[in-house]
Structure 1
Amino acid sequence: MGISKLTTDKVKERVDIEEVVGDYVPLKKKGQNMWACCPFHNEKSPSFSISPAKQIYKCFGCGKAGDPIQFVMDIEGIGFTEAIRHLAGKYGIEVEEDETRTPEQDQAQNERESLYIALGFARDFFVKNLQSPEGKSIGLSYFKERGFTPAIIEKFDLGYALDGWDNLLKEAKSAGFQEEILLKSGLILQKEGDASRVYDRFRGRVIFPIHNIGGKPIGFGARILTKDKNQPKYINSPETAVYHKSDVLYGMYQAKKAIRDKDNCYLVEGYTDVVSLHLSGIENVVASSGTSLTDGQIKLIKRFTDQVTVLYDGDSAGIKASLRGIDLLLEGGLNVKAVVFPDGEDPDSYSRKVGTQAFQDYLQENSRDFIGFKIGLFQVEFAKNPIRKAEVIREVIQSIGKIPDPIIRSVYAKEASTLLEVEEDVIHTELNKSLIKTQKDQYQKQQEFPTQESPFEEFLPTEEKSSFSEILKVQEREMVRLLLNYGWEMLDQEELHLCDYLLSETEELKFETPVFEKILITYRQILSRGEVPTVEFFIRQKDEEMRQVVIDLITPRHEVSTAWHEKHQIFITSETDNLSLTGFKTILRLKRRVVQKMMEEAKLKIKTAESEKEADLNIDELQRIYFELKKVQLEIDKELGIVIG
């Protein structure tokens, strides 16, 4: 079923953009707005703006923009209805179903939403199985043996899959789930060569649900407890429409608040490592679940912190094999430290062995930055082998070269010089070679796969786009920006709104930029109905282009610091100090560009008439029109204070 309009309206009234975005990225206040590094693309300095007053977000880097509902849709990759359900759950709003929907509409509801429902059902089924006789004797006993408390078991939704071919399948079918959805969610399998035979994927195993950032189960990891050599120790859910392994870290839902608070993320390998660290009072921990680190997982960490500490098992061969992960973390703009456990120990076993306090002390005392850690790994190897030392130096320099920040690169180069007993100039020389090679590789890649132009670049006054037509777009944009931001403000000493003035002065103009013309037409239509054209109305339009442009126009890129006035008594005028003058000059600049474009068109017609000697083109008349337009331009220039020699 769908969601009633009443529920949707309640969610829209209750949601707060700062709270919603703050669940995913750390926010910092600057002026009236909040800022963060964009969760949708890689960046070093924050360009992601959140306006609590307008309840919108806007990234000036990648162009993403919208309201709280759109943010949840973008960040979770879900539809509108699903986003409303998500936010209703966050704010404790009861979801009322839309009873007017037809059975056909119910059947055609979003597949992703159906998958989430099926996966949630499976999670509850596995949790309930822990209380069955089989679940207690096998699953619950295993968890208790590892020291997992009832609170921890509940926190991670740990469960058990009964040892049978179709326990989940039968239960799900009796609850009304179709085989197609169960197959697409990865909960059941089809027998090879016999599509009619389906059975449970997870059987006779303890279950570790994998949650998305919002807390919904999207997949499962399952561990076998018997010593069956024909069965893998762990099996996991396959890739589905809602579960993409490369973008998920186990435990991130439970860890995100602690990662933000501690400004550090511990990175481990397996499910039990994460749970054991929580038992030791360390909640800012996630796992890559035994897979190699991916760009998506690194971006996920960077949403919450720039600091990551990798915890390695006490196995030097395994550590050396996984060093590639450190380079990826550095390349992703993270500051990396590492901790190595004693031989034969991993985070899970060592935390249980030494206890909570001793384990926490060990992490604090043995945390080393990646340079000292990497050099220490190979110190014994190159102590008596100069060739091996040269190889290690190059490997260390390559790692430093992955760091985007030049200042941090310089600091690590100095430290590497000291630890490796190599001249710092040599380190910098080799580092520069490495950086140049990287830049060449990136350039070649860009030539093969050119980046997409920003959706608003066509409106910017760049040198490459200096034609009168392009500059006219800039003035159209400015006029629409004023209309949207201050249209309903009263003009000083005049009994009319700014929107009345702007619209009357542009009544006979047709804007060349289609989206701006569309906004103007919509604005006029709303006014003609006797309604107020609010920004909220435009933001909630289904027209994606219009919605994105409106958000771009109402979101300021920079703010003047209050310190200018409060601390230094420096007063800076703003466009709102005299809206009458601001509106007047905006219209003049727009009309000036329109006149200049008409003059250019007249000049072209004169050239065409002269070159082709066409009798039907009256050159004298065209010249007269041109000079009349020139007079208009000069009058406008005089009003604007523009002096042209």
Structure 2
Amino acid sequence: MTISRATTEKVKDRADIEEVVGDYVPLKRKGQNLWACCPFHNEKSPSFSVSPAKQIYKCFGCGKAGDPIQFVMDIEGIGFNEAIRHLAQKYGIEVEEDQNVTPEAIQAYNERESLYIVLNFAKDFFAKNLMTEEGKSIGLSYFKERGFNQNIIDKFDLGYALDGWDHLHKAAKAAGHSDELLMKAGLILQKEGDANRFYDRFRGRVTFTIHNLGGKPIGFGARILTQDKKQPKYINSPETEVYHKSDILYGIFQAKKSIREKDNCYLVEGYTDVISLHLAGIENVVASSGTSLTENQIKLIKRFSDNITVLYDGDAAGIRASLRGIDMILEGGLNVKAVVFPDGEDPDSYARKVGSAAFTTYLEKNAQDFISFKIGLYAEEASKDPIKQAELIKQVVQSISKIPDPVIRTVYIRQSANLLEIDEDIIQAELNKIYLKGQKDQHFKEQRQEAEAASFVEDLLPVKEEPTSVSKILELQEREMLRLLVSYGFEMVSDDLHVCQYLLQETDELVFETPVYKKILEIYKDALSEGVLPQPEYFLKHDDAEVKREVINMITRRYELSTLWESRFQIFTYHEADDLAKTVYDSILHLKKKVLKKMLEEARMKIKEAEMEKLDEHVLTERLSIYMELKKFQVEIDKQLGIVISF
């Protein structure tokens, strides 16, 4: 269902950009704005700016920009209505539905929402099963043996799937959920050869609910408790419309706040590892749930912290097999440490064995940076074999090459040289070989892609003319005039004239060619016709995302002069707002100059066309006359701008 306009306005009025972004990204104040590394792309130097005064965010690296609602849409990967619901829940705003919506819109919304509803039903069903006779003797007994108390069971929505073919299916059908929906949610399977027979996917297993960032159930992991070699120890929900294994981490919903506060994320392998660490008082922990770490999972962690500590079971063979994950984390721009537990122990077993205090101490004392960890892993066998030592050096260099920050790379080169007892130049030479090979591979790849693209375009697409440089310049000048209009239109350029009145009067006959700028100009004029003198905030509340993004780009700047320059050091600088009359006047002249330049180019083309086609001399004379008249206007504008020679 579509959300009512009244609810949307309440959310817009209540949502605070600092609070909303702060739920996902650690912000640091610098000047009037707050800054962070962008959660939407990998970077080491903060270019993501949040303006509490303007209630907007803007990344000067990737270009992402918007208001609190747009931020939730971007970071959660959800639509406008879902973002409004998310913020309404955060701020305790009652959501009112708009009844005037099309059947198609209702169906599209209901399909996704129904999946969440049926998955939540399954979560509650599994939880209730723990209180049955079978659930208490098997499921609850298993959790209690592991030391899981009721608080932790409730916190992670743990449950039990009864040992029968269709307990969940029957209960869900009785509650009104269809077979089709249960299938789409991955909760039931269809009996082979019989389209009318279904059975539960999870049977006779304890269940672990997988939540999305917002806390909604999106899938399940289930562990069998009997020694049955014919069945896998764990089974998981399949990929669905709401559950993508490579995009989520187990425990991220319960951990995100602590990860941000501690500025570190512990990464473990399994569900019970996460829960045991919570019992030990360590909440900044997530699990890859037995699957290989993915790029999207690394990006998910980076939203909350740049630091990650990988916890490894005390199994050397298993550790070596999973080292590729460290290289991926390094490539993702995170700082990596590692902790290895004693032989035969994992985070779950060791936390239960030594207790909360000793476990926390162990993590603090045994965390190693990835270089020390990797070298230590192979040091003993490499010390006795020159070939293996050379291989170790290459592996270490390969990991260092993944680090995007050159300063951190340099530090690790020096550390590696000391630990391996070799010259830094040798490591640097190996690193250069990797980079050179990477550049060659990238060059060949780009050449191949360009050739394929050129062939594809030539065979299938009509040839499109590239926009002329004059058109591009004109577009930039249109943007500049609109920037002044949006930023200062409400200011006075004289005692009785607003900036907007002056700008619009002087450019009334000009036609904007860039679609989005034309749209912004129309919105501005419509507001004036309704008696509203728009300020930037007027556009930030507009429903058109493209308009909001463009206006944000216009009114935000990456760098600001410190107020101390003038207040403390008496260093005074010129600001465009100091003389709006001159700023606006120059902008109008520059815009007219660019329009004339385009008109002159078109006039030249027509003259050339008349000469080539040998048109009537009268036609050629007329076109030359138009060109000369335009040239006079250009010369006059150049004089006013102080330009001696016209280009």
TM-score, L = length of structure 2:
0.92
Counterparts of 2:125 and 2:377 in 1: how far apart (Å)? 46
The match for 2:483 among 441, 459, 481 is 481
Counterparts of 1:11 and 1:164 in 2: how far apart (Å)? 46
SS in 1 for 2:576: coil
Distance 1:430 1:26, change over 3 A: same
Count, aligned residues: 632
Tell me the residue number matched to 1:58.
58
2:487/2:535 contact within 8 Å kept? no
The answer on 1:179 being equivalent to 2:188 is no
Distance 1:196 1:472, change over 3 A: same
Tell me the residue number matched to 1:583.
584
Distance 1:486 1:169, change over 3 A: farther
Tell me the residue number matched to 1:455.
none
Tell me the residue number matched to 2:461.
none
Distance 1:415 1:626, change over 3 A: same
Distance 1:449 1:45, change over 3 A: farther
Counterparts of 1:387 and 1:548 in 2: how far apart (Å)? 57
Tell me the residue number matched to 1:192.
192
Partner amino acid, structure 1, of 2:34: M
Counterparts of 2:207 and 2:145 in 1: how far apart (Å)? 16
Counterparts of 2:481 and 2:331 in 1: how far apart (Å)? 42
Tell me the residue number matched to 1:461.
none
Tell me the residue number matched to 2:45.
45
Tell me the residue number matched to 1:429.
429
2:489/2:535 contact within 8 Å kept? no
| 1:71, distance to aligned residue in structure 2 (A) | 2.0
1:82/1:113 contact within 8 Å kept? no
Cα deviation 1:38-82 (Å, max 9, x = unaligned): 222223323323222232223333333322222222222222222
The answer on 1:595 being equivalent to 2:591 is no
Cα deviation 1:546-589 (Å, max 9, x = unaligned): 34323322333332222322342222222222222221111111
2:7/2:95 contact within 8 Å kept? yes
| 1:201, distance to aligned residue in structure 2 (A) | 1.5
Tell me the residue number matched to 2:459.
none
| 1:98, distance to aligned residue in structure 2 (A) | 4.3
Distance 1:132 1:444, change over 3 A: farther
2:4/2:96 contact within 8 Å kept? yes
In the alignment, structure 2 segments of 5+ residues that lack a partner are 454-465
Q: How do residues 101-116 of structure 1 correspond to structure 2 at under 5 angstroms?
A: 106-116=106-116
Q: How do residues 87-236 of structure 1 correspond to structure 2 at under 5 angstroms?
A: 87-98=87-98, 106-236=106-236
Cα deviation 1:311-345 (Å, max 9, x = unaligned): 11000011111111111111111111111111000
Partner amino acid, structure 2, of 1:556: R
The answer on 1:526 being equivalent to 2:534 is no
Tell me the residue number matched to 1:516.
517
| 1:433, distance to aligned residue in structure 2 (A) | 0.7
Counterparts of 2:358 and 2:42 in 1: how far apart (Å)? 37
TM-score, L = length of structure 1:
0.92
Distance 1:176 1:50, change over 3 A: farther
1:268/1:310 contact within 8 Å kept? yes
Tell me the residue number matched to 2:564.
563
| 1:620, distance to aligned residue in structure 2 (A) | 4.2
| 1:514, distance to aligned residue in structure 2 (A) | 2.1
Counterparts of 2:40 and 2:442 in 1: how far apart (Å)? 21
Q: How do residues 240-319 of structure 1 correspond to structure 2 at under 5 angstroms?
A: 240-319=240-319
Q: Percent identity?
A: 69
SS in 1 for 2:492: coil
| 1:467, distance to aligned residue in structure 2 (A) | 2.2
| 1:439, distance to aligned residue in structure 2 (A) | 2.7
SS in 2 for 1:503: helix
Give the stretch that moved more between structures: 59-68 or 298-307. 59-68
Counterparts of 1:449 and 1:208 in 2: how far apart (Å)? 44
Partner amino acid, structure 1, of 2:531: G
Cα deviation 1:472-519 (Å, max 9, x = unaligned): 11100101111122222222x331221111111111111121221222
Counterparts of 1:177 and 1:203 in 2: how far apart (Å)? 19
1:337/1:370 contact within 8 Å kept? yes
Partner amino acid, structure 2, of 1:485: S
1:250/1:271 contact within 8 Å kept? yes
Tell me the residue number matched to 2:457.
none
Distance 1:415 1:105, change over 3 A: closer
Tell me the residue number matched to 1:34.
34
1:78/1:112 contact within 8 Å kept? no
Distance 1:47 1:114, change over 3 A: farther
Distance 1:191 1:449, change over 3 A: farther
SS in 2 for 1:313: strand
| 1:115, distance to aligned residue in structure 2 (A) | 1.4
Distance 1:68 1:508, change over 3 A: same
| 1:354, distance to aligned residue in structure 2 (A) | 0.9
Partner amino acid, structure 2, of 1:389: Q
Tell me the residue number matched to 1:628.
629
Counterparts of 1:80 and 1:201 in 2: how far apart (Å)? 33
